[in-house]
A and B are shown apart, each in its own frame.
Chain A
């Protein structure tokens, strides 16, 4: 029991917003870090004691709070899976002061810009897919980010999509990510898209983030999608991180009955932010058969598998490039091989 607690009863002071210490410590305990050191123990304890002269009896060790590395989701896989979370998967919470210079550098970054080009060779009589994309993510103030995307793609027809996404911190370790998109009405891009996701740290498991969300999109030929998603991101030793995501979509149109599509995606990253990250992504599910210009009733659901392998390399601490190779396959429909190249700039 605290020595201080044994004293005569002390008043409960309150913060300007009316919280007491008991409430704050209870909330903190509920969201507590596991306390696993992120960096090597010896290096951390050395860093911690260098601001005081060491004890004669030995250097004291200081606790290091756990700080998960960044996790950048890639815009790969079926285009319909875009949402705000793909740009803003990394909540910018820094639970405590950065413990390494890398983290300090990272936490100071305020904007990210992408210029991307992609090309997929598609089988059968389908036209190859190609396009460009310009994307940016800007931190407008602490806890609030904004992303803007412009996507242009050419298949059997030309399509465009503009997307605005936001991330807002609503509580310690909890963010709301939202996006709103408007398209030109091509077959393969929505006309309107809206979604929201809540992302946060899993209580008592600071190395995992959860994501729960949903949204809707409207397409040509009076088709609409309504979907829900659930995801789990995690950070493991040896610079490994990953995400598992499940998406259930209700696909409907005015002229045919609705049906459900399910898709599961796993992404794994390995490497250090600021140096090089390798990524593997696999997505398996069922989707309406890709038949350009067809209505939904003539597009039965088909098993679809997409995968990509890529890496992101920082040439300098502020810029670099991303390359990836994609494969895609839809039963009885197509298979494709794609190449993706991006340049990025962080400031």
Chain B
């Protein structure tokens, strides 16, 4: 049998223990599983008729809501024009949202079919400046006008938005968790690595003076960046990076997610309002909180700021969300499309007709659920029920006076949020 010298054993043991304690967390650390959840569930505030409301939307989505052309089959239109009876441009982000929505409803078959179409559009070339969008999804797919007859050809838009890709990332990660399809995870890794290694590396690409930690707004297919950092959509979905980190065991994704959120927090004012974006300028300057800007002077966009507040909820920052909730003034479930930064009331200039953003009602309902505000959530749902179009979808904007559509455009995004609380982790 063997014997140990006590001295050598102690030495080895103490060195081992010390070294293990001092090793950087990323060697051992994995991402934390979140423990945050809304205080109320959607089902607890829903009416019995809401199941039919959702079904009507599903039926509409399967029909006019998605494209039936081969190249973009099952991909979701951004708008459906009720007068021209056709969809307007394909928005890959919405396909991502649809995949998320379907996956959460347990419909992984339809979600996979949709993902199958979507993944064809992932940017997979590293030639020249395309390397800066390698792994990302374009934010638009548009038909190519041609004098030739025959099926429409489609091409990817120029821009790759970080926020849109975060939505798609969340969808793909959740779909992977259900199906364990390696191709879905592969696509998700493409997005995650693009965000972490390109879009959050503005300081290494000459776009920032320092490492801000959050992604730049977009890059074009020619490699040109917009070095602004927008909260809003990115703030709501930045947790998708964290989720990808947990699924892949890659701490770099989680660390970036946390850092980005800490940056986004800087965009909230003392009143509770969230500013729209951070503008470092070009040539970029060092961080200055005064560089956080609204959409326009004293004006913010309601659905954008609501997304920021929901992003705070998803990161467990309910204090920030509560502050925002108190700032925003909602009347019977309806939210003006533009808000006054100081008051939280309508931000439309005097004399201009006010219209409501219907998605904002659904986002506000989700926020109310997080904060346990039952009456507000019920009021938001009641408004959504009231304004559902007979086809099953919703107009994106309704005038305040008559609740008539601002434009004759149905928007699937409203339906996704109206029938599900997509903000839940």
Which of A's residues lie within 8 Å of B, judged by CB? 2-5, 7, 10-17, 19-22, 24-25, 27-29, 49-56, 60-63, 94, 96-98, 104, 107-108, 141-144, 164, 166, 168-170, 172, 176, 178, 180, 192, 194, 196, 216, 218, 224, 226, 250, 252, 258
B104 within 8 A of A: yes
Q: B182-190, B211-219, B340-348, B396-404: which one contacts chain A? A: B182-190
A12 to B122, CA, bound (A): 12
CB distance from B241 to the nearest CB of A (A): 11
Instruction: Flag if A141 contacts B181 (CB, 8 Å).
Output: no
Instruction: Flag if A143 contacts B29 (CB, 8 Å).
Output: yes
A178 to B13, CA, bound (A): 9
Instruction: Flag if A192 contacts B10 (CB, 8 Å).
Output: yes
CB distance from A106 to the nearest CB of B (A): 10
B185 partner residues in chain A, CB cutoff 8 A: 21, 24-25
Instruction: Flag if A19 contacts B33 (CB, 8 Å).
Output: no
A4 partner residues in chain B, CB cutoff 8 A: 112, 115-116, 119, 181, 183-184, 187
Near A by CB (< 8 A), chain B positions 17-73 give 17, 20-21, 25, 28-35, 37-38, 41-44, 46, 50-55
B14 within 8 A of A: yes
Instruction: Flag if A7 contacts B116 (CB, 8 Å).
Output: yes
In the complex, which range does the number of interface residues on chain B fall in? 35 or more
Q: A56 contacts which of B4, B51, B247 (Cβ < 8 Å)?
A: B51
A107 to B34, CA, bound (A): 10
B16 within 8 A of A: yes
A192 to B42, CA, bound (A): 58
CB distance from B395 to the nearest CB of A (A): 20
- Given contacts A63-B178, A166-B20, whether A53 and B120 have CB atoms under 8 Å apart is no
Q: List 26 A-B contacts (CB under 8 A).
A: A4-B184, A5-B183, A10-B119, A13-B189, A16-B250, A17-B250, A21-B185, A21-B186, A21-B189, A22-B182, A25-B185, A50-B44, A51-B421, A51-B424, A52-B104, A55-B54, A55-B105, A56-B52, A62-B106, A142-B29, A142-B30, A166-B21, A170-B28, A180-B17, A196-B13, A218-B6
CB distance from B210 to the nearest CB of A (A): 20
CB distance from A238 to the nearest CB of B (A): 26
Instruction: Flag if A2 contacts B193 (CB, 8 Å).
Output: no
Instruction: Flag if B33 contacts A53 (CB, 8 Å).
Output: no
B4 partner residues in chain A, CB cutoff 8 A: 216, 224, 226
CB distance from A235 to the nearest CB of B (A): 19
Q: B42 contacts which of A53, A56, A166, A252 (Cβ < 8 Å)?
A: A53
Chain B residue nearest to A258 in the complex (CB): B1
A149 to B178, CA, bound (A): 44
Q: B50 contacts which of A11, A14, A27, A53 (Cβ < 8 Å)?
A: A53
Near A by CB (< 8 A), chain B positions 148-182 give 178, 180-182
Chain B residue nearest to A27 in the complex (CB): B249
CB distance from B33 to the nearest CB of A (A): 5
CB distance from A166 to the nearest CB of B (A): 6
Instruction: Flag if B6 contacts A20 (CB, 8 Å).
Output: no
Q: B120 contacts which of A2, A7, A52 (Cβ < 8 Å)?
A: A7
Q: B107 contacts which of A11, A60, A258 (Cβ < 8 Å)?
A: A60
B3 partner residues in chain A, CB cutoff 8 A: 224, 226, 252
- Given contacts A4-B116, A25-B180, A49-B43, whether A192 and B6 have CB atoms under 8 Å apart is yes
CB distance from B192 to the nearest CB of A (A): 7
Chain A interface mostly:
mixed
- Given contacts A4-B119, A21-B189, A178-B17, whether A16 and B252 have CB atoms under 8 Å apart is yes
- Given contacts A21-B183, A141-B25, whether A176 and B249 have CB atoms under 8 Å apart is no
A61 partner residues in chain B, CB cutoff 8 A: 106
B379 within 8 A of A: no
B296 partner residues in chain A, CB cutoff 8 A: none
A11 partner residues in chain B, CB cutoff 8 A: 124, 190
Instruction: Flag if B193 contacts A104 (CB, 8 Å).
Output: no
Q: B28 contacts which of A29, A104, A144, A164 (Cβ < 8 Å)?
A: A144
CB distance from A252 to the nearest CB of B (A): 8
CB distance from B48 to the nearest CB of A (A): 10
Instruction: Flag if A168 contacts B43 (CB, 8 Å).
Output: no
A180 to B185, CA, bound (A): 42
Q: B187 contacts which of A13, A20, A25, A56 (Cβ < 8 Å)?
A: A13
Instruction: Flag if B419 contacts A52 (CB, 8 Å).
Output: yes
- Given contacts A10-B124, A97-B35, whether A53 and B53 have CB atoms under 8 Å apart is yes
Chain B residue nearest to A108 in the complex (CB): B35
CB distance from B21 to the nearest CB of A (A): 7
Q: B55 contacts which of A56, A62, A63, A98 (Cβ < 8 Å)?
A: A56
> In the complex, which of the residues A50, A104, A143, A170 has the most CB atoms of chain B within 10 Å of its own CB atom?
A50
Instruction: Flag if B253 contacts A50 (CB, 8 Å).
Output: no
- Given contacts A19-B248, A168-B28, whether A53 and B420 have CB atoms under 8 Å apart is yes
A3 partner residues in chain B, CB cutoff 8 A: 112-113, 116
A96 to B35, CA, bound (A): 10
Instruction: Flag if B419 contacts A20 (CB, 8 Å).
Output: no
Chain B residue nearest to A52 in the complex (CB): B420
A12 partner residues in chain B, CB cutoff 8 A: 186
A98 to B107, CA, bound (A): 23
A172 partner residues in chain B, CB cutoff 8 A: 30, 249
